[in-house]
Amino acid sequence: MSLDQFRLDGRIAAVTGGARGIGFAIAELAATAGADIAIIDILEEGSDSAARLEAASGRTVRAYRADLRDPVAARAVAEDVERDFGRVGVLFNCIGINPNTDVLEIPAEEWRDVINVNVNAQFFIAQAFARQMARNGGGSIVSIGSDSGFIVDKPQPQAHYNTSKAAVHQMVKSMAVELAPHKIRVNAVAPGYVLTEMTRRGLSNTEWVKLWEEMTPMKRFAEPSEIANVMLFLASDAASYMTGSIVLVDGGYTCW
């Protein structure tokens, strides 16, 4: 047994939502572990993030802008990445949004948007890269779920987000079963509260922050790097017998 099992030397890793937050954290870590990186994001800042990471890591890093809610766009960007890099062995699927709206007030458009981004877009890009992996001898897909896929977080109103993350967990398990014969492993990390750009808007509500910290046995939020560490493990050969797993990384939040 060797620690080399935790590395990604010689591999190509695609990272959706890689412009910032958990996505950028895993892009950084995967590059440190020896992978070349394709950052896929709808945000323009993906290009700056890619340039910064390439300069810091010495790895080849490219940015691709795409709206993954569109299955045609998802297939096209996956083809672009394969054309530019060759065989993609790892997909880190980190896209997601989380508006807070009372269940009695959620507009149909907002409900659809959450499901489209958190579930449909994750599926379309995973399907596109899984087709390549099946053709090329296998690979690993690691998605971002949430503790909200197991419990109803409080006090924030987010029925659509909770629903979407439960769907992601079941999608990961279903894909894991069907893709195992193709030597493709599919797993997810389910974070608790993480200090990212997406969660910072909730930090302005001091009562929410106080409650979240009190309900977390470790009494703090996670750093994006702490989620990325687990994602790297799941993608690596060190997790070669893991598929269909949803790994909670929540500081003990769901233990109560």
Hey, which bits of the chain come out as E strands? Answer: 12-16, 36-41, 61-65, 90-93, 139-144, 184-191, 246-249
User: Which residues sit opposite 13 in a β-bridge?
Assistant: 37, 90
Note whether 88 and 82 are within 8 A (CB).
yes
Number of other CB atoms surrounding residue 174 within 10 Å: 12
Q: In whole angstroms, give the CA distance from residue 113 to residue 107.
A: 10
Q: In whole angstroms, give the CA distance from residue 245 to residue 141.
A: 11
> Which contiguous run of DSSP H or E holds residue 79?
helix 71-85
193 is catalytic: no
Q: Which of 64, 161, 193, 253 is catalytic?
A: 161
Q: In whole angstroms, give the CA distance from residue 224 to residue 222.
A: 6
Note whether 143 and 172 are within 8 A (CB).
yes
Q: In whole angstroms, give the CA distance from residue 158 to residue 105.
A: 11
Q: Which residues carry out catalysis?
A: 161
